[in-house]
Amino acid sequence: MIRFVNAKLNLGLNIVRRRPDGYHDLETVFYPIGVHNGTPVNPEPFSDILEITPAESTEFVFSGRKVDCPLEKNLVYKAWKVFKEAYPELPDFRIHLEKHLPDGAGLGGGSADASAVLCMLNELCGDPFDQGQLAAMALKLGADCPFFIYNSPCYAEGVGERLEAVDLDLSGWWCLLVKPEVSISTKEAFAGVTPGAPEHSLKETARLSPEEWQGRMVNDFEGSLFPNHEVLPQIKERLLGKGAVYAAMSGSGSTVFGLFRSREEAADALSEFVEHYTALCLM
């Protein structure tokens, strides 16, 4: 079984309060990105490739972009372990991840891989678990992992695990992703934030046309990270200057994205960012 694993965008993100346990309560809108890449309408590749096949003994293989962590900390391995604990009769498989999505980009690439492992193992074993049960397993792996079980537009609260489907369809819009050579740790991302109630309801703003988002839908991490990484606000302003109707940083960065009305506009903007990693995606 082979699956092309897509990423996600945080269209907006508000940090509303610090919790007694040290974590923060968030409000965000998740949207899948890269679903159409590799198809005739959007042939540019933008996904990880996960292959799971029967084997005589369990084996993990990694290729593509280097996954720089020991096996026991790799989310693919951890997802297999969580599924094995819930389904002890799990047979042996060879699990091969070909990594292409960038790390530390705010795109959820590792979380997407983990959730894909859960879904694929579930299917290969005859679907012993429903989506709700898989989402509960995914939460053990990371706050944004449950989103990838559903892989459809969601409004999220808590640490990102309380999901609610949203009526948001960006079909026909084009997105340009720009990721500079900037690495942002979770510790750095949260260090400078000031939690507070957002000026505009994220859920309500998501119901508006993307042309009305700029200035209303925000990512609170930009306030703390942009002063420390000047390239990020520069990319955002350049995207807006090239015709993006909305531009923002995704998650805790460091990818900045712009929404364009047409492929032609997005492709024209892409030519301005040859010094950075870029991806062109039909929404």
Q: Apex CA 15: angle with CA 13 and CA 17, to 5°?
A: 155
Does 8 qualify as catalytic in the annotation?
Answer: yes
Strand partners, 177: 257, 279
The active-site residue, picked from 113, 144, 179, 236, is 144
Residue 80: both structure tokens together? 């297999």
Q: What percent of the chain has pLDDT over 90?
A: 84
| Same domain as 157, residue 24 | yes
**Do 179 and 137 sit in the same domain of this protein?**
no
For the chain, the domain total comes to 2
One domain for residues 199 and 277: yes
Mean pLDDT of the chain: 94
Active site residue 144: yes
> Do 11 and 86 lie in a common domain?
yes
Q: Are residues 106 and 16 in the same domain?
A: yes
Domain co-membership, 32 together with 152: yes
Based on the domain organization, do 141 and 248 belong to the same domain? no
Residue (of 275, 260, 265, 283) closest to 8 by Cα position: 283
Return the residue matching tokens 């892409």. Answer: 270
pLDDT in tens, 30-70: 999 999 999 999 999 999 999 999 999 999 999 999 888 89
How many whole angstroms separate alpha carbon 238 and alpha carbon 244?
9
CATH at residue 125: 3.30.230.10
Q: Please check whether residues 24 and 117 belong to one and the same domain.
A: yes
Whether residues 143 and 207 fall in one domain: no
Q: Which of 131, 165, 199 is the last residue of a domain?
A: 165
Best CA proximity match to 213, nearest among 175, 244, 254, 252: 244
pLDDT tens-digit map of 121-132: 999 999 999 999
According to DSSP, residue 156 is labeled: E
List of residues 6+ apart from 167 with CB closer than 8 A:
153, 207
Q: Is the model's pTM score more than 0.85?
A: yes
Residue closest to 142 by CA, chosen among 33, 252, 4: 252
Model pLDDT for residues 72-118, shown as the tens digit of each residue: 999 999 999 999 999 999 999 999 999 999 988 999 999 999 999 99
* Active-site residue (options: 8, 78, 179, 236): 8
End-of-domain residue from the set 119, 145, 165: 165
Residue 124 sits in the same domain as residue 6? yes
Do 160 and 208 sit in the same domain of this protein?
no
CA distances from 243 to 219, 247, 276 (A): 20, 10, 19
Q: Residue 227 sits in which domain range?
A: 174-282
CATH of the domain at 198: 3.30.70.890
Output the pLDDT for position 178. Answer: 98
Last residue of a domain, one of 109, 138, 165: 165
User: CA–CA separation, 219 vs 233, rounded Å?
Assistant: 12
Identify whether residues 217 and 274 lie together within a single domain: yes
